[in-house]
Amino acid sequence: MKRIQLYQDDITQLHVDAIVNAANKSLLGGGGVDGAIHRAAGPRLLEECRKLNGCETGEAKITQAYKLPCRFVIHTVGPVWYGGKIGEDELLASAYRNSLQIAKAKKLDTIAFPNISTGVYNFPKDRAAKIAFDTIQQFLAENEFPETVVFCVFDDENFHIYEKLILEKE
Ligand code: ADP
C-alpha cells in the first residue's frame, strides 16, 4: 500500500490510529474541524484538553479519542496567515512535523491530517498543500513510523489540489 493516501471525508469518521486536530492555542475547542472533533469525541475530550495548558503555534499534543473511532487525537496549532512574511510557512511545516514526531514516538501505523490552517486561518490552499506534502514525504523517507499518512480533505478545492500534487510527485 502507498504510504501517502488521499481521502475526501469527514475526519471524525476515520478508523485510523490517530487523527490530527487543527486546533487553536487554547486547545479548548473552536469551529471547523476542531468543533467537529470535539462534538464527535464527547465532553471528556475537552476535560482532558483543559489539563494541557494550551499549545504553541507549530507544536502538537496528544490525547485519547473517547467516542471517536480512532485511537488518539493529536492536537496541533497551525499559523494564522498574515501574508507569508512572518514565518507562516515554517510554522505550518512544524505543525505537520511535530504531529508526525508524536506518531513516531508512539509507533502509530496510520495518522490522518486535515488541511491545517486552510479554513478560518486563511493560509492559501495551494501553498499549504505543497508544504504539507513535502514535509510528510521527507518525514516518511527518514522514518519507519508512521507507516501510512492520510490526507483527509473536506472541500472539493483541496481535493483537486492534492490529487494533482500526488500525481505529480509519484
Ligand atoms: P484552521 O483554523 O486551521 O484554518 P479550520 O477547521 O477552519 O482550521 O479548517 C481546516 C480545514 O479543515 C479546512 O480545509 C476545512 O475544510 C476542513 N474541515 C472542516 N471540517 C472538517 C471535517 N469534519 N473533517 C475534515 N476536514 C474538515
**What average pLDDT does the segment 20-49 reach?**
98
Q: For the chain, what is the mean pLDDT? A: 97
Does the complex come out with an ipTM higher than 0.85? yes
Q: Give distance in angstroms: CA of 121 to centre of ligand 1.
A: 10
How confident is the model over 80-102, as pLDDT tens digits? Answer: 999 999 999 999 999 999 999 99
Which residue in this structure is represented by grid cell 494564522?
80
Number of domains into which the chain is organized: 1
CATH number (domain holding residue 148): 3.40.220.10
pLDDT tens string 97-145:
999 999 999 999 999 999 999 999 999 999 999 999 999 999 999 999 9
Angle value at C-alpha 118, between 112 and 123, nearest 5 degrees: 130
Average pLDDT over residues 12-31: 97
Residue 56, domain extent: 4-169
Share of the chain above pLDDT 90, in %: 97
Residue entry with cell 514535509? 135
* Closest residue by CA, ligand 1 atom 5: 119
Active site residue 34: yes
119 CB within 6 A, ligand 1: yes
Beta-strand (E) ranges in the chain? 4-8, 18-23, 60-64, 72-77, 110-113, 148-153
Instruction: Report the predicted TM-score, pTM, of the whole model to 2 decimal places.
Output: 0.98
Which residues have a Cβ under 8 Å from the Cβ of 83 and sit 6 or more positions away? Answer: none
Q: Which residues contact 100 (CB under 8 A, 6 or more apart)?
A: 111, 135, 136, 139, 143, 146, 149
